[in-house]
Amino acid sequence: MKQTKQMQRIAAMEQALDRAQKAVDGLDRALDAYHDALPDIRALAGYLQSREWKKDFAADEAGALPPEPKRGVLSEDGIYDLLTSDDALRARLAALRLEDEAPSDGGETDKEEPK
């Protein structure tokens, strides 16, 4: 059976729907997890700037803390890298929001692609 241009378009749009739905569902789950982690991110930002962190870091450097439990929060880059990634993510989300607010072509699909 020969596929018409219409059937090819419908098949392509069906594939686009499947990809988009998968992406939207994944992002929805990720945003829920991110939202749940925001209090932890705020707490870590406060801790990194606190006297307590400096005291804990100095004690670790002096070997005054036991080897367990893990203490990645006392690395010089652990929390900082997380906060930098968080800032980049927020900027990316803001850019997506601005992009989404830009005028669109109305969603028409019959326009020819530029050559």
Q: What is the pLDDT along the chain (115 residues), one digit of tens a residue?
A: 567 999 999 999 999 999 999 999 999 999 999 999 999 999 999 999 999 999 999 999 999 999 888 889 998 799 999 999 999 999 999 998 888 887 766 555 555 544 4
Measuring CA to CA, which residue among 1, 28, 16 is closest to residue 109? 16
Measuring CA to CA, which residue among 39, 43, 72 is closest to residue 56? 72
What is the Cα–Cα distance from 65 to 57, expressed in whole angstroms?
10
DSSP annotation of 72: G
Residue with tokens 């830009």: 102
What is the Cα–Cα distance from 21 to 27, expressed in whole angstroms?
10
Contact criterion met (CB below 8 Å) for 109 and 10: no
What is the Cα–Cα distance from 91 to 83, expressed in whole angstroms?
12
What is the Cα–Cα distance from 9 to 77, expressed in whole angstroms?
50
Domain-wise residue ranges, the chain: 5-101
Rg (CA), the chain: 24
